[in-house]
Amino acid sequence: MHNIIEKKILANTITLLKVEAPLVVRGARPGQFVIVRLDEYAERIPLTICDMDKSRGVITLIIQELGRSTKDLCALKVGDRIRDILGPLGNPSEIEKFGTVLMIGGGVGSAELYTVVRALKDKGNKVITILGARCKDLVILEDEFRKLADEVLITTDDGSYGMKGLVTDALKSLFERGEKIDRIICCGPIPMMKAVTLTANPKNIPTVVSLNAILLDATGMCATCRCTVAGKTVFSCVDGPEFDGYKVDFDELLHRNKRFLEEEKRALES
Ligand SMILES: Cc1cc2nc3c(=O)[nH]c(=O)nc-3n(C[C@H](O)[C@H](O)[C@H](O)COP(=O)(O)OP(=O)(O)OC[C@H]3O[C@@H](n4cnc5c(N)ncnc54)[C@H](O)[C@@H]3O)c2cc1C
């Protein structure tokens, strides 16, 4: 059982929970995730470890309400308990001195980059962050990123805050001002990650994407999260979640992630 010790509403449908998980946090590294199960009968929900406090044994989860399970999770209060937290899972992010690293987050994907930004800064990189959201109310953790990163650019689809447009427009503006970028790391909706790789491709900048394939057991056994990367089948849970964006078959991933839509709709209505 894992106690919830802090809860913060970050945006209309996005909630931050700090949860006691001393055994998970002990070996956790930036870029890894956990599988959360609210109770014995609940669905398994993969969530990134958005921050970690090793001395207190606490992890931070940031959850966007999408369907039944994330709604139930966001409804929990301080003092409530989560039955299972399995992790740390997946491969940690590669943290090296790359030079200038551009971190691009879309929606809740921004939160998933937070520990990686801190680790890259600690290694001496210059870090520029682009945070993209549909509108001002959905921009999260701006102050936290401003404290860490060398520069933060905000884009909103409707222009209610920051630059009007998509994260790729901010990326193009960096190219236009002649910014030399050595690596891009991107986390967000699948069409966004595809668009970022297509925009970065002509400049041949190494571009890493964090895939959100539907996954269940997270041990490489069930194959639910299989994706095609460089023409080969990989399991996002154990081979990823980060991959070379130029080699990912995004269209297949998008198609596979829609395969439980009917069941998800029924679960939300029940
Ligand atoms: C490695 C990884 C890290 C993630 N980190 C975060 C995070 O930090 N914060 C966050 O808000 N979300 C994160 N997600 C996505 C999150 O797991 C899904 O939004 C959640 O499982 C949806 O469950 P639901 O019942 O609320 O919605 P549903 O109605 O069941 O599904 C809504 C949509 O969520 C996705 N989804 C559903 N089940 C899964 C599943 N088992 N695995 C992956 N995606 C699923 C599908 O695209 C689906 O169409 C992550 C996903 C992965 C794979």
Distance CA 212, CA 256 (A): 11
Ligand 1 pocket check for 118: Cβ under 6 Å: no
For residue 183, the model assigns a pLDDT of 98
Q: How far is the CA of 116 from the centre of ligand 1 (A)?
A: 20
Cβ density class 50-66: b for 16+ within 10 Å, e for less? bbbeeeebbbbbbbbbe
Ligand 1 pocket check for 188: Cβ under 6 Å: no
Q: How far is the CA of 71 from the centre of ligand 1 (A)?
A: 11
Which ligand 1 atom sits closest to the C-alpha of 65?
26
**Token digits of residue 30:** 């930036």
Kindly give the confidence (pLDDT) of every residue in the chain, 270 residues in length, as a single tens digit, with 9 standing for 90 and above: 899 999 999 988 999 999 999 999 999 999 999 999 999 888 899 999 999 999 999 999 999 998 889 999 999 999 999 999 999 999 999 999 999 999 999 989 998 899 999 999 999 999 999 999 999 999 999 999 999 999 999 999 999 999 999 999 999 999 999 999 999 999 999 999 999 999 999 999 999 999 988 888 888 888 888 999 999 999 999 999 999 999 999 999 888 877 777 777 777 777
Ligand 1 pocket check for 66: Cβ under 6 Å: yes
61 in Cβ contact with 17 (< 8 Å): yes
For the chain, the residue count is: 270
Residues 6+ apart with CB under 8 A from 22: 57
Pairing relation of β-strands 100-106 and 183-187? parallel
pTM of the model: 0.92
Ligand 1 pocket check for 264: Cβ under 6 Å: yes
Pick 2-89's CATH classification: 3.90.1210.10, 3.30.465.10, 1.10.600.10, 2.40.30.10: 2.40.30.10
Ligand 1 pocket check for 215: Cβ under 6 Å: yes
Q: How far is the CA of 175 from the centre of ligand 1 (A)?
A: 32
Distance CA 83, CA 19 (A): 11
Q: How far is the CA of 176 from the centre of ligand 1 (A)?
A: 35
Q: Which fold has domain 93-206?
A: Rossmann fold (3.40.50)
Ligand 1 pocket check for 34: Cβ under 6 Å: no
Q: How far is the CA of 108 from the centre of ligand 1 (A)?
A: 11
Name the residue ranges covered by the structural domains of the chain.
2-89, 93-206, 211-270
Q: How far is the CA of 97 from the centre of ligand 1 (A)?
A: 31
Ligand 1 pocket check for 91: Cβ under 6 Å: no
